[in-house]
Structure 1
Amino acid sequence: MSNLSATNQIINYIKENILSGNFKINSKLPSERKIAEQFNISRIPVRKAIEKLCDDGILMSVPYSSPIVKGFKKVDLFNDNEIYKNHNIQEFYVESLRARQFIESEATKLAVLNASDEEIERIRVAYLKSIAELDKVAKGLIKECSDADLKFHKEIIAASHNPLFYKYYEIIPKTIFSNQYFGFKYRTSLNDMIEHHDKIMEAFEKRDPILAYNAMYNHLEDVIQLFQSK
């Protein structure tokens, strides 16, 4: 995050707090002054970030007052002529998770077959980190756990030795980012997630491609069911 411009840091900060529920929908955003003081910067990048988020429909400008938080109402990943442009965000995420389910289940199977010992060790380290970070979700620290969980998935994708599978993470980063946030936000128990990660890791230890495919498939199916129940 430190490599980003001040404006982009503020944009990410506001988005993350909306996704985590710290900034409630239809509530006022903290003042420009308060945000600027928190980051020890001038109010100019804060104002630019707010203007951008208002243009995107995530915030609503209010004359002589802080903007109102509107949240993520529609998908902004596509051109106006794309069929998904006006889809409800929940509906789109279910569809994007189905795509992840297909790709990552197959990638996990390939990774079990193709991963070197060094790659399996990197997967194991990422797995242990993701489990260790899960207790932070209960404290509202979703960002830390989201990063650790994403690292676990990316190491598996890389170990598949299929460049097309790895490339898809770069093609739809906003979708994956939000998948992680909402998956943690709506989860009522972390035990199921731990069990799924355990099962995925077990498949690597046993070098069992069928177990690997099913473990990842069921893991993402659980997230899909979270979305569909809301």
Structure 2
Amino acid sequence: MSNLNATEKITDYIKENILNGNFKIDSKLPSERKIADQFNVSRIPVRSAIEKLCEEGILKTVPYSSPIIKGFKKLNLFDNGEPFKNDDIQMFYVEALRTRQLIESEATKLAAINATEDEIKVIKKAYLKSIDELDKVYKGLLKECSDADLHFHQEIIKSSHCSLFIRYYELIPKTIFSNQYFGFKYRTSLKDMMEHHHEIMNALEKKDGDLAYRAMYNHLEDVIELFERI
């Protein structure tokens, strides 16, 4: 193992152990010798990794002792010096939903064409579960409702058999979940959403791609309008 590769591996090792809580904030880092023995290397790459992490502010040097773990700096994405303000969050949500609208509408069209009978059954099961969960909205159990609704959307995406759309959904799970969650939280009526889900399911069962596209497009347009009004 080269010193460069060893330094990178040790740097990642220290960061991972800080993030998962094994190395506590304001405690001492294990000794250079101990880390070197663990990786079966000399102390040179360990020292290089520590120097790098000290420069980043993750560790703090202490004379004649192991460095102190300071952790990762908490960033304020909306500092006065940044071009984005808190008000921009609303626009970020709307832009994310517009992207989803284009992708999911096309994915729903493909699902209507490509989904197998078994996949349609899985989508319908998710659809029925999402309807069953709606009564929980009034009880304030928003996570359960948004989870069920998200599952319905995910099954449609998978049934499109398009690796690009499937990968997209895997890359931004937090964004998609927050869309679903706040879509329920600020919704004033569930009637339109239920009708849209019914139209999507009906189009999929008919294997009507164009109808499926319009149904999903209109469904997400309703959510976008909700976010624009918040």
Q: TM-score, normalised by structure 1?
A: 0.64
Matches within 5 A, 1:98-113: 98-113=98-113
Matches within 5 A, 1:150-169: 150-169=150-169
Residue 174 of structure 1 deviates from its aligned partner by 1.4
Residue 85 of structure 1 deviates from its aligned partner by 9.2
Q: May I ask how many residue pairs the two structures share in their alignment?
A: 160
Asked whether the 8 Å contact 1:112–1:204 carries over to 2, the reply is yes
**What secondary structure, in the 3-state scheme, does the structure 1 residue paired with 2:161 have?**
coil
Quote the sequence identity (%): 66
Gaps (5+ residues) in structure 1? 8-51, 58-72, 75-80
1:137 to 2:165 alignment: no
**What secondary structure, in the 3-state scheme, does the structure 2 residue paired with 1:157 have?**
helix
**What secondary structure, in the 3-state scheme, does the structure 1 residue paired with 2:189 have?**
coil
Q: State the distance in 2 between where 1:111 and 1:184 align.
A: 25
Residue 6 of structure 1 deviates from its aligned partner by 10
User: Could you tell which deviates more after superposition, 173-182 or 97-106?
Assistant: 173-182
Match of 1:120 in 2: 120
Matches within 5 A, 1:30-179: 55=74, 88-179=88-179
Which of structures 1 and 2 has the bigger CA Rg?
A: 2
Gaps (5+ residues) in structure 2? 1-18, 22-70
Q: State the distance in 1 between where 2:87 and 2:173 align.
A: 18
Residue 86 of structure 1 deviates from its aligned partner by 7.5
Flag the 1:6–1:144 CA change in 2: closer, same or farther, 3 A.
Answer: farther
**Cα RMSD for the two superposed structures:** 2.7
Amino acid at match of 1:163: S
CA deviation profile, 1:45-67 (whole Å, cap 9, x unmatched): xxxxxxx9x9466xxxxxxxxxx
Q: State the distance in 1 between where 2:218 and 2:103 align.
A: 13
Amino acid at match of 2:209: P
Match of 2:222 in 1: 222
Amino acid at match of 1:170: E
Amino acid at match of 1:108: T
